[in-house]
A and B are shown apart, each in its own frame.
Chain A
Amino acid sequence: MRIGLLTDGGYPYATGESRLWCDRLVRGLPQHEFDLFALSRSAHQEDQGWVRLPPRVSRVRTAPLWTPEDGTLRGSGERGLLARLVTGGEQSYGRRDRRRFAECLTALATAICTRDEAGTAAGEGTGAELFAEGLHGLAELARERGGLHLALRSEDTVRILEAASRAPGTGRTVQSATVPDHLAFAAELERALRPLSLDWYDQESLGAVDLCHAASGGPAALPGLLAKRFFGVPLLVTEHGVPLRAHYLAACDTPYAPPVRALLAGFHGRLATEVYRQAALITPGNTHVRRWQQRCGADPAKQRTVYPGMAAERFGRVGEDAERLGAAGDSDDAGGPDTLVWVGRIEPAKDLVALLHAFAEVRRAEPGARLRLFGAPADGDEATAYRAHCEALAAQLFPDEATGAHAEGVCPVTFEEIGGPEVPDLAEAYGAGGVIVLSSVVEGFPVSLVEAMFCGRATVSTDVGAVVEVIGGTGLVVPPRNPKALADACVALLRDPERRARLGAAARARALELFTVEQNLAAFRGMYLELISRTPVRREADTVDAHGDPLPFATPPEARLLGHWTQPGPHLRAQPGRARPGEPEPQHAREPEPEGVCAVAAGPAGDGDA
């Protein structure tokens, strides 16, 4: 099976996000062939080169989404002087194409500018329909005629945007947009819609894959949307974070005025809705992502939570030691029994200040306790300042202590880096502690918590992000920004070695069940097969040979089993009310194959029976 893996600023670039996961996926499913379709984010990223690709990757197509330094697109002046004069200066389309462009863009802009009425679920209502119509119209125009980037920077675009934002029913913020706002939004729209102009949409590229797997939502899923539209290729969307949420958080730093941000938010929201609507399956990385997706109109029936897989092997030794010692009842030897360990990157979101105050409480109850903080080297001014602040606070709260009058004193709180002689690797760091603490106030998917679980350690963590669903009762959870509660939980665990061992063993069992690479791969393997059996791509070219004669066995015999083997479950059946006239039916609602092919392919089989 050929999988088209769509990435945006990630794999196969060496500096990409989620490249580890993609790499494991590509290497872990050797029975499938992978075609990579990668969008790059910056010139710097392209200069950094690629990671080493396994031989299963048969093809790599890349395209830049960033603008070159001088602000112009390459190839924008490819048309001859006469041709440009005939078509009227900067206008790149003829009259008919221009009208088509204007219609599609009007639909798109109207959908972006208007907000659904209260009570309408995301993904339903006229806005989503309009957006889909406009987006796919523009995609078809770009595929047939090209030149979309020129048209999107023309005056027509600004005029259409202005008209759409003035229409009744738009929000107050959008209504207040001025001409520079429209210009800024037009430029951003052109950048966001650049995947529509790629040359990936032909029979050799995206038309040749059996399944599109988008490694993130947003721009990366856009080619997948079009592949579904043009070739009926099913789309699987995996999201470890929510692109819409990331957009909102990043939008604070942009210099844009509120109307531009409102328009951009409208665009990204509608795009997310459309991606979720068209995707055959959506795999959020945790419940938090799942909730956001539902908020944006994802059908819960299509969602399958697939936790990111992590390599459990490197924690195997420490984890097994913990299990063995725990079973022998000799749990005091599992790490430093009085040692609390924190592992992570030192930054304000980790709230180490609260941890230090909590540890002051712990010391009052358990004077022999130690706290070891393993932090990656700080990068950036803010992180460096925060680390210095924490170290100063630790020195102030905990003076150096010595065992005797002639011994050298040591501070009970140490800041250490992994890779030193004492703690050569991450597993040793977790192994050094009796209890692992996580004190963050903001957290996405808590990687260090999962690592601690692999090591079979009891944990105390704050109730943020996906912590509760990860820990699932195999560790203690306290409210964030509450040093007292954190301290109480730590003391309770420090005083009860048996409970510590029990929780550690349960945590390790849970982690091995849920968060290994194997379970991640197994989940995707199953989903690939499910999708391909449910919504196979039908290509006319596959059922006939070079002379146009039908090929025997081009369709599997299962196609003639009782009932329709390609028919989806009732939850995925296209609802007749939602299908628009004039649009091709969704692939999975179609009859399994064209009648003629079916009859001809049935011919030889019938002969054989006779």
Chain B
Amino acid sequence: MTRPDDPAIPASAQERPAEIRPRTTARRTPGGASRRGPADPVKTLLHHHRDLCERAVDPLEIAAGLEAHGLTDRTAARYRHRDVFALAEELYARVPPRTRAPAAGPTTGSVPVPGPDADARAAWTLLALLPGAACLATAGVLRVTEGVLGDGTRALVTVVGAVLACLALRACLARGPLRAPEGAGRAGMYGCWLLSYAVYGEELLAQVMTGGPDGPWDGTPAPLLGLAAAVAPAAWCAHLFTVHAQRRLAGSRALEEFGAGVRPLLLASVTLFLGALLPLLLLADLGLGGSGTPVAAACLGVLFFVARLLAAHGLPEPGTAALAAACAVEAGAPALVLAARLPGLEPLAQPVNALVSTGGTGAVSALACGGAAVGLLLHAAFALSRASAHTRS
């Protein structure tokens, strides 16, 4: 044991070079202090291991930490304790509890905020602009070359544009806020069907109802252009929703509190998206000469957005189911009309007839997509207000 009155010690202490870490000498103090006999040897120990004691959630954690610092049962005897466990219990009891109580501070900092990097954000924003750009370029080329090129070449241009748009869409759904960590199941298939119907569906239904189909029919590409351009706002709305939900999650103490805070967020982000989508659709309509207000396309856009938002939070099934339902309704309308041509089944066409007579051929897809979107939105209001949906982002 180091004894202050030992003649050998001061000499060696003077010889000690300066680079010895102060830790070594500081650690020695508790033992020395206790031998010199302050009334409370544990207080010194507490001072030296204050960080450990304040961080500890359990006396055993203090015991483990003390042992890692070289304390043994024999050292604990110096502090008038039977073993390290008893010493640790005293330390745990003596650390002021108020230092253990505030938990919210580090929690807020430890929650990863998605997309903190401005570069990454710029990257996915750029990607999200690509599908719209591809569609716009295709439409532009087709418009300029009207009457210049032959039908075959124009068809080729259309196909190339469509492939480019698909590739861009794939790329921007694979990263950023629209990425679905668990895949989206068969949603892609249903999405293709819904998009084709948005382009060709009205014409098909009109022909079927007037006794057709009578051969090739023209599509209305305006919704396609508008929807492709709306991918970028969709990504931003999803990003804003995720970021704000995470922020709310970090600060919330109870699950109900969190749920009540997230529902308005969801509605706000959907409204924001709708607000961005409608002008885009109207512009596309103006540019490509569409027909009237694009209610069906807007409903389809909202449906896609909510479905993707759910998939991005690890819940792809409800979105897939809603898309499938919309597909079923859209496919059902022409099928009913065709079936009604069979003798005895005439009443089958009545609902479709009534619908078309009140709202035009677009009413069918507006009803299908709108119904599905509203249903899905209601579901999302519950599903996304669960805290467990926000762990994976």
Contact of B12 among A172, A357, A464 (CB under 8 A): A357
- Chain B residue nearest to A79 in the complex (CB): B317
Residue A484, interface by CB 8 Å: yes
**B60 and A248 contacting across the interface, CB-CB below 8 Å:** yes
**A181 and B24 contacting across the interface, CB-CB below 8 Å:** no
Task: Give the distance in Å from the alpha carbon of A256 to the alpha carbon of B252 in the complex.
Answer: 16
**12 new A-B contacts at CB < 8 Å, known A179-B253, A360-B12:** A72-B181, A85-B317, A154-B388, A173-B103, A183-B390, A186-B388, A248-B60, A261-B57, A442-B68, A463-B74, A481-B24, A482-B2
User: B104-115 CB contact bits vs A (8 Å, 1 = yes)?
Assistant: 101100110000
Asked whether A178 and B103 contact (CB < 8 A) given A162-B254, A249-B64, the answer is: yes
Residue A180, interface by CB 8 Å: yes
- Chain A residue nearest to B52 in the complex (CB): A252
Asked whether A295 and B60 contact (CB < 8 A) given A173-B103, A178-B103, A257-B107, the answer is: yes
* CB under 8 Å from chain B, chain A span 148-188: 153-155, 157-159, 162, 171-173, 176-183, 186-187
Residue A396, interface by CB 8 Å: yes
Residue A255, interface by CB 8 Å: yes
Residue B17, interface by CB 8 Å: yes
Task: Give the distance in Å from the alpha carbon of A151 to the alpha carbon of B70 in the complex.
Answer: 43
| 15 A–B contacts from the bound complex (CB under 8 Å) | A89-B318, A155-B386, A172-B100, A177-B103, A178-B250, A183-B249, A245-B64, A251-B61, A252-B55, A255-B110, A291-B83, A360-B12, A442-B69, A483-B12, A484-B6
Q: Which residues of the other chain, B, contact A261 by a CB distance below 8 angstroms?
A: 57, 61
The stretch that binds A, out of B182-190, B191-199, B342-350, is B182-190
The interface on chain B, measured as residues whose beta carbon lies within 8 A of the other chain's beta carbons, has a size of 69
The interface on chain A, measured as residues whose beta carbon lies within 8 A of the other chain's beta carbons, has a size of 70
**B388 and A265 contacting across the interface, CB-CB below 8 Å:** no
Task: Give the distance in Å from the alpha carbon of A176 to the alpha carbon of B99 in the complex.
Answer: 13
Q: How far is the CB of B84 from chain A (nearest CB, A)?
A: 9
Task: Give the distance in Å from the alpha carbon of A393 to the alpha carbon of B28 in the complex.
Answer: 20
Task: Give the distance in Å from the alpha carbon of A251 to the alpha carbon of B56 in the complex.
Answer: 10
Overall SS of chain A's interface = helix
* CB under 8 Å from chain B, chain A span 449-490: 463-465, 479-485
Task: Give the distance in Å from the alpha carbon of A291 to the alpha carbon of B73 in the complex.
Answer: 11
**B182 and A360 contacting across the interface, CB-CB below 8 Å:** no
Interface residues of A (CB under 8 A from B): 70-72, 76-77, 81, 84-85, 89-90, 153-155, 157-159, 162, 171-173, 176-183, 186-187, 244-245, 248-249, 251-252, 255-259, 261-262, 265-266, 269, 291, 295, 353-354, 357, 360-361, 389, 392-393, 396-397, 441-442, 463-465, 479-485
Residue B133, interface by CB 8 Å: no
Q: Which residues of the other chain, A, contact B388 by a CB distance below 8 angstroms?
A: 153-155, 157-158, 183, 186
**A181 and B387 contacting across the interface, CB-CB below 8 Å:** no
Residue B9, interface by CB 8 Å: yes
Q: Which residues of the other chain, A, contact B60 by a CB distance below 8 angstroms?
A: 244-245, 248, 265, 269, 295
* CB under 8 Å from chain A, chain B span 256-315: 258, 314-315
Q: How far is the CB of B375 from chain A (nearest CB, A)?
A: 13
Q: Which residues of the other chain, A, contact B110 by a CB distance below 8 angstroms?
A: 180, 255-257
Task: Give the distance in Å from the alpha carbon of A247 to the alpha carbon of B200 in the complex.
Answer: 62
Residue B143, interface by CB 8 Å: no
Task: Give the distance in Å from the alpha carbon of A389 to the alpha carbon of B57 in the complex.
Answer: 35
Residue B353, interface by CB 8 Å: no
Asked whether A389 and B19 contact (CB < 8 A) given A158-B255, A479-B1, A481-B70, the answer is: yes
Residue B20, interface by CB 8 Å: yes
**B317 and A258 contacting across the interface, CB-CB below 8 Å:** no
Task: Give the distance in Å from the alpha carbon of A464 to the alpha carbon of B97 in the complex.
Answer: 31
Q: List the 10 closest pairs (A to B, CB-CB), nearest first.
A: A262-B57, A248-B64, A441-B70, A155-B386, A176-B103, A257-B107, A248-B61, A155-B388, A245-B64, A255-B110
**B2 and A265 contacting across the interface, CB-CB below 8 Å:** no
Q: Which residues of the other chain, A, contact B70 by a CB distance below 8 angstroms?
A: 441-442, 464, 480-481
- Chain B residue nearest to A76 in the complex (CB): B182
**B8 and A484 contacting across the interface, CB-CB below 8 Å:** yes
- Chain B residue nearest to A248 in the complex (CB): B64
Q: Which residues of the other chain, B, contact A182 by a CB distance below 8 angstroms?
A: 387
Q: Which residues of the other chain, A, contact B73 by a CB distance below 8 angstroms?
A: 291
Q: How far is the CB of B269 from chain A (nearest CB, A)?
A: 20
Q: Which residues of the other chain, A, contact B15 by a CB distance below 8 angstroms?
A: 360
- Chain A residue nearest to B20 in the complex (CB): A353
Residue B36, interface by CB 8 Å: no
Residue B101, interface by CB 8 Å: yes
Asked whether A353 and B24 contact (CB < 8 A) given A172-B97, A262-B57, the answer is: yes
**B16 and A70 contacting across the interface, CB-CB below 8 Å:** no
Residue B85, interface by CB 8 Å: yes
- Max chain B Cβ within 10 angstroms of own Cβ: one of A182, A258, A396, A482: A258
Q: Which residues of the other chain, A, contact B64 by a CB distance below 8 angstroms?
A: 245, 248-249
User: B155-193 CB contact bits vs A (8 Å, 1 = yes)?
Assistant: 000000000000000000000000001110110000000
Q: Which residues of the other chain, B, contact A360 by a CB distance below 8 angstroms?
A: 12, 15
**A85 and B321 contacting across the interface, CB-CB below 8 Å:** yes
Q: Which residues of the other chain, A, contact B85 by a CB distance below 8 angstroms?
A: 295
* CB under 8 Å from chain A, chain B span 70-89: 70, 72-74, 83, 85
**A70 and B181 contacting across the interface, CB-CB below 8 Å:** yes
**A258 and B100 contacting across the interface, CB-CB below 8 Å:** yes
Residue B242, interface by CB 8 Å: no
Residue B320, interface by CB 8 Å: yes
Q: Which residues of the other chain, B, contact A248 by a CB distance below 8 angstroms?
A: 58, 60-61, 64-65
**A179 and B391 contacting across the interface, CB-CB below 8 Å:** no
Task: Give the distance in Å from the alpha carbon of A187 to the alpha carbon of B391 in the complex.
Answer: 9
